[in-house]
Chains A and B, each alone.
Chain A
Amino acid sequence: MVKELPVIYLQTAGCSGCAVSLLNSASPTIKNVLIDQIVPGMHINLRFHPVIMASAGELAVEVMEGTAREKKGEYVLVVDGAVPTATDAVYGAVGERNGKPVTMLQRVTELARDALAVIALGTCASFGGISAAAPNPTSAKPVKDVLDAEGIKKPLINIPGCPPHPDWFVGTVAGIIMNGLPTADDLDDLLRPKAFYGKLIHENCPRRAYFDEGKFAKKFGDEGCLYELGCKGPITYADCPLRRWNSGTNWVIGAGAPCNGCTQPEFPDQTAPFYEKLVDVEIPTIGACWTGKEDK
């Protein structure tokens, strides 16, 4: 008997980039995730996912609401996107009820209340991200704020990134399947799995030696550390330098571009301007530093 883990994947205020990134999962492939037993005896049953599901309209909404009814307390809710709250939350709706649009805020609240656990996928869902960028015209909020405001106490895991690496999501789900929900020790203070977000980009960057030597690229295409071209690696927690992207083909700094800090709650407003050097702040975790202010 194969055990089914029901999953509702709700898209809110976002761009579908998280969903597309998930399609890039290399091992397991997205086909393995959707179709196969992800580990023997266990299948991820992605019942509702607006980008790939066959059904549409009321048929699709019925799948979403039906899953929440029939699998109460058993399904994982994945929210991809921030939640618009301004002006009675009119800026985003998913489906209708009694001829009236149901706001994304209502959907997240209802579905989270009956979920086993909630995964906030991407920086918009985790921290607000681009959807909540200043002046945040729709008062978009991260999932945590919505749950807190509604007094919903459910296990919440943030998997930020704009978009997140597919391994971060698939690996987190694998952890839930094999070991159960993460403990407080497994997550950092921003509810990110330490397994993927435990170290700064800067700590593992192959251009780190340039930083320590004070050799900085002055324009794109130069050798050297990209710090002066705006790299936010020194304040950004993610394993991109080791994991690399798109089946390990390349990554941001590998293409000569500065990290823009997309896994951080500061993204985008405090990590912008993206091509301006970080203001010199104390960066206690990065060891020897070219400014000479720290002990060598």
Chain B
Amino acid sequence: MGKIVIDPVTRIEGHLKIEAVVEDGVVKDARTTGNLFRGFEIILRGRDPRDAQVITQRICGVCPQSHGIAAALSLDSAFGISDKIPDNARIMRNLIQGVHIAQDHILHFYHLTALDYVNVTDVARYEGNDSQLNSVKDFIARGELGPFLPRYEGDYRLPPEVNQQAVAHYVKALEIRRVGHEAVSIFSGKIPHSVGVVPGGVTSVPTPDNIMAYIWKIKILQDFIDNVYIPDVLAIAGAYLDYAEIGTGCKNLLSYGSFDLDGKSPDYTTRERLFKQGTVSADLKPGNLDTDKITEYVRHSWYEDSTSGRHPSKGDTKPQYGKEGAYSWTKAPRYDGKVYEVGPLARVVVSYAKGDPTAQELVNGALDKLKASPSVLFSVLGRHLARALSAKIITDSLEGWALQLKPGEPTYVEYEIPDEAMGMGLTDAARGALGHWIEIKDKKIANYQCVVPTTWNVGPMDDKGQHGPIEQAIIGTRIKDEANPFEIVRIIRSFDPCLACAVHVVTPKGRDLGQYRVV
């Protein structure tokens, strides 16, 4: 029996460690450890509530925009103006968040994931005229291959010309995602950590020239998503079809929905959104979202047990490093007491299960191409496919929304900060369901809790001993070569974890189980 410890897990956002216990080539147990504690909830206490959207973006520099949106929604609701945000502002928030998520999905597939499947060194054999590929060939010939080597070896399956093309796309994708960020900055000033979204609306104003500039940047992303990104996902899927059955996980999916299509209902759980709010499980029967069912557990996290099992609005964050039986800085959120996965897979499949025509057409079309049934969606490949379709669904909506903007009309509504109030902001970030809960007393933040997507996915066991989604996805996996545990890193990265600091990836050193505290 061996233990595979991967620390840090790279090509993710944040500090993550994975420990997997392997017996007869199969993972018997797995633990995910969030390796950085920064204490945002503690830092937020006592501050001006409006500052929450500035501070919480700094939770994550990869997905700051969604934190800004969730914070603004929670403040809008606490200030009693969630149904009064002007249409211009609602649309501009969608435009800002939408293109940000699309570029994030592209970044994830090419720059965080592709090196697990694509053999960069095949470019050494490139004989064509593509100047970008030839520059990569020169780079390889010089022999200093950081940061592309070393790596795990032995399971790169694509033919050389496909690898070469994928490397060209890796380089192209760097440019495309940068254009995506440029589009964000048109309405939100700069990114990472943009400034346009505030409680009450947005700070910027739509003008014909910035609407047009935005639309033509979007078209660059659309072209790439349709003609490069989605075909590349399908090409990799074709060569790695066994990954349609690897990393299945808990098969319970949760989405808060995202992109408000109507701002008139104050209730975020029911208002009309592009992606639908709700849950779905292996039977693909959809359920409605009830945020009262969310609780966070800390039995196996480095926080005081007295704070376990609470709804986020009543949550507390009291660190206690070294607590007996605990192994992560990440809490364990649960829905209705059960383990739920969040992310693009949840977002797309909840809309699919709820009969959204666009999601149905795209998902069924992709499954037809792979000659597969919907059950393969619960897998490593399913997550990558859903992420690409999420990028398409979002990006295809943006031009139409941009054309609904009305220059000269308001983008902001004024408000008074109440003495006391509670607020909740729900959205689906790039990596899934993101909730912010605020309590205001004496016009200051009395309590602020964020339940972020990666906490759902990367969280440890709960008080009942149920493993978190990534742990479940790893347990039971057959590891072909323990010295090169591709399966584990491919599973982890299919969730696109974002710990705002990195996870660990392991090499097996045959550490015995004695070091592994069984709880």
With a cutoff of 8 Å between Cβ atoms, the chain A residues found around residue B115 in the complex are 54
Q: How far is the CA of A84 from the CA of B329 in the complex (A)?
A: 14
**B501 CB contact (under 8 Å) in A92, A99, A130:** A92
CB distance from B517 to the nearest CB of A (A): 13
| A4 and B186 within 8 A (CB) | no
CB distance from A15 to the nearest CB of B (A): 4
Q: Is the beta-carbon distance between A48 and B319 smaller than 8 angstroms?
A: no
In the assembled complex, B218 has its CB within 8 A of some CB on chain A: no
A34 contacts the other chain (CB 8 A): yes
Residues from chain B with a CB closer than 8 A to the CB of A21 are 61, 192
A31 interface residue (CB < 8 Å to B): yes
B residues near A59, Cβ cutoff 8 Å: 150-152, 505, 507
CB distance from A5 to the nearest CB of B (A): 10
Q: Is B125 an interface residue (CB 8 A)?
A: no
Whether A257 contacts B203 by the Cβ 8 Å rule is yes
Is the CB of A184 closer than 8 A to any CB of chain B? no
Inter-subunit contact B59/A15 (CB<8 Å)? yes
Question: Residue A155 at the B interface, CB < 8 A?
Answer: no
In contact, A52 and B187 (Cβ under 8 angstroms): no
Nearest B residue to A2, CB-CB: B142
Task: Verify A35–B189 contact, CB threshold 8 A.
Answer: no
Within the complex, which residue of A2, A51, A55 is in contact with B150, where a contact is CB–CB below 8 Å? A55
Against A, the Cβ 8 Å flags (1 = close, 0 = not) of B231-271 are: 00000000000000000000000000000000000000000
Q: Is B459 an interface residue (CB 8 A)?
A: no
Are B7 and A95 in contact, with the CB atoms below 8 A? yes
Given contacts A57-B8, A95-B7, A138-B37, contact A252 B146 (CB under 8 A): no
Residues 393-451 of B contacting A (Cβ, < 8 Å): 410-412, 414
**Is the beta-carbon distance between A273 and B58 smaller than 8 angstroms?**
no
Encode A223-244 as 1/0 by CB contact (under 8 A) with B: 0000000000000000000000
Contacting B at CB under 8 A, from A36-52, are 36, 43, 45-52
Q: Does B76 contact A (CB under 8 A)?
A: no
Find chain B residues with CB under 8 A from A47 CB: 146-147
State A26–B47 Cα separation when bound (angstroms).
36
Task: Flag A203-232 by CB within 8 Å of B: 1 or 0 each.
Answer: 000000000000000011100000000000
The answer for the CA separation of A131 and B188 in the assembled complex, in Å, is 23
Report the minimum CB–CB distance from B321 to chain A (whole Å). 5
The answer for the CA separation of A256 and B195 in the assembled complex, in Å, is 9
Chain A contact residue count (CB 8 A cutoff): 89
B203 with A255: CB separation less than 8 A:
yes
CB distance from A266 to the nearest CB of B (A): 14
Number of A-B contacts (CB under 8 A): 299
Contact, CB under 8 Å: A99 / B511? yes
Known contacts: A57-B7, A92-B36, A220-B198. The answer to whether A255 contacts B51 by CB under 8 A is: no
Does B64 lie at the interface of the complex (its beta carbon under 8 Å from any beta carbon of A)? yes
Partner of B139, one of A35, A53, A245: A35
Stretch of B10-18, B349-357, B365-373, B473-481 contacting A (4+ beta carbons < 8 Å):
B10-18
Query: Cβ of A56 and Cβ of B489 under 8 Å apart?
Result: yes
Given contacts A2-B142, A31-B171, contact A246 B181 (CB under 8 A): yes
Bound-complex Cα distance A130 to B8 (A): 23
**Is A50 a contact of B8 with CB atoms below 8 Å?**
yes
Given contacts A17-B61, A59-B150, A163-B61, contact A4 B144 (CB under 8 A): yes
A131 CA to B58 CA, complexed, in Å:
9
Are A11 and B501 in contact (CB-based, < 8 A)?
yes
- Contact flags (1/0) for B495-519 with A, using CB distance below 8 Å? 0000011101111010100010000
Other-chain residue from B12, B13, B178, B489 in contact with A23 (beta carbon distance below 8 A): B178
The answer to whether A219 and B414 touch across the interface, beta carbons within 8 angstroms, is: yes
Segment touching A, from B38-46, B275-283, B378-386, B463-471: B38-46
How far, in whole Å, are A274 and B107 apart by their CA atoms in the complex? 31
CB-contact partner of A29 in B144, B175, B185, B198, under 8 A: B175
> A142 at the A/B interface (Cβ < 8 Å)?
no
Known: A16-B62, A134-B43, A260-B54. A55 touches B10 (CB 8 A): yes
Enumerate chain A residues within 8 angstroms of B414, measured Cβ to Cβ. Answer: 219
Min CB gap A53→B, angstroms: 4
> In the complex, which residues of chain A have a beta carbon less than 8 angstroms from the beta carbon of B203?
220-221, 255-257
B136 interfacial contact with A, CB 8 Å: yes
Q: How far is the CB of B346 from chain A (nearest CB, A)?
A: 23
The interface bits of chain A over 243-259 (1 if a CB of B lies within 8 angstroms of the residue's CB, else 0) are 00111011111111110
Q: Is the CB of A36 within 8 A of B182?
A: no
- B27 at interface by CB-CB < 8 Å: no
Cβ of A292 under 8 Å from chain B: no
A13-B38, A13-B501, A36-B135 as given contacts; A54 in contact with B178, CB under 8 Å: no
A117–B35 Cα distance when bound, in Å, is 27
Q: B42 near A14 (CB under 8 angstroms)?
A: no
Is B389 located at the chain interface by the 8 A CB criterion?
A: no
Closest to A32 in B: B135
Judge whether A101 is part of the interface by a CB distance below 8 angstroms.
Answer: yes
CA distance A11 to B501 in the complex (A): 7
Selected contact of A221 from candidates B187, B189, B412, B506, CB within 8 Å: B412
Q: A91-B36, A268-B55 are in contact. Are A54 and B61 (CB under 8 A)?
A: no
The reply to whether the CB of B314 lies closer than 8 angstroms to some CB of chain A is no
Q: Mark A59-89, 1 if CB is under 8 A from B, else 0.
A: 1111100000000000000000100100100
| Residues A246 and B58 in contact in the complex (CB < 8 Å), given A46-B147, A93-B15, A221-B411 | no
Q: CB distance B61 to A15 under 8 Å?
A: yes
How far does the alpha carbon of A34 sit from the alpha carbon of B170 in the complex, in Å? Answer: 13
Query: For A60, what are the chain B residues with a Cβ–Cβ distance below 8 Å?
Result: 8, 10, 505
Which B residues lie within 8 Å of A26 (CB)?
Answer: 178
Q: Is A174's beta carbon under 8 Å from chain B?
A: no
Query: Does B174 interact with chain A (Cβ within 8 Å)?
Result: yes
- Cβ-defined contact, B189 with A245, below 8 A: yes
Quick check: B182 and A249 within 8 Å, CB to CB? yes
A57-B196 in contact (CB<8A): no
Please tell me if the beta carbons of A272 and B51 are within 8 angstroms of each other in the complex: yes
Asked if A118 lies at the interface with its beta carbon under 8 angstroms from chain B, I say no
A116 proximal to B (CB < 8 A): no
Q: How far is the CB of A47 from chain B (nearest CB, A)?
A: 4
Decide if B273 is an interface residue (CB 8 Å cutoff): no
Is the beta-carbon distance between A255 and B39 smaller than 8 angstroms?
Answer: no
Contact B58–A92 (Cβ < 8 Å): no
Bound: A260/B53 CA distance, A: 12
Cβ of A19 within 8 Å of any chain B Cβ, yes or no, is yes
A117 to chain B, nearest CB (A): 18
Residues of chain A touching chain B, judged by Cβ–Cβ distance below 8 Å, are 2, 4, 6, 11, 13-21, 23-24, 26, 29-31, 34-36, 43, 45-63, 81, 84, 87, 90-96, 99, 101, 130-131, 133-138, 140, 162-163, 219-221, 245-247, 249-258, 260, 262, 268, 272-276
A96-B504, A256-B196 given; name 13 further pairs at CB < 8 Å. Answer: A4-B144, A35-B171, A47-B147, A50-B10, A54-B115, A92-B36, A137-B37, A137-B38, A137-B43, A220-B200, A221-B411, A255-B204, A272-B47
What are the nearest 10 A-B pairs in CB distance? A17-B61, A56-B505, A255-B189, A57-B505, A137-B39, A245-B190, A47-B146, A257-B195, A54-B151, A53-B147
A–B complex contacts, Cβ < 8 Å, 15 sampled? A11-B15, A13-B501, A15-B58, A16-B13, A29-B175, A54-B147, A55-B150, A57-B7, A90-B322, A91-B319, A92-B36, A101-B35, A133-B55, A255-B196, A275-B48
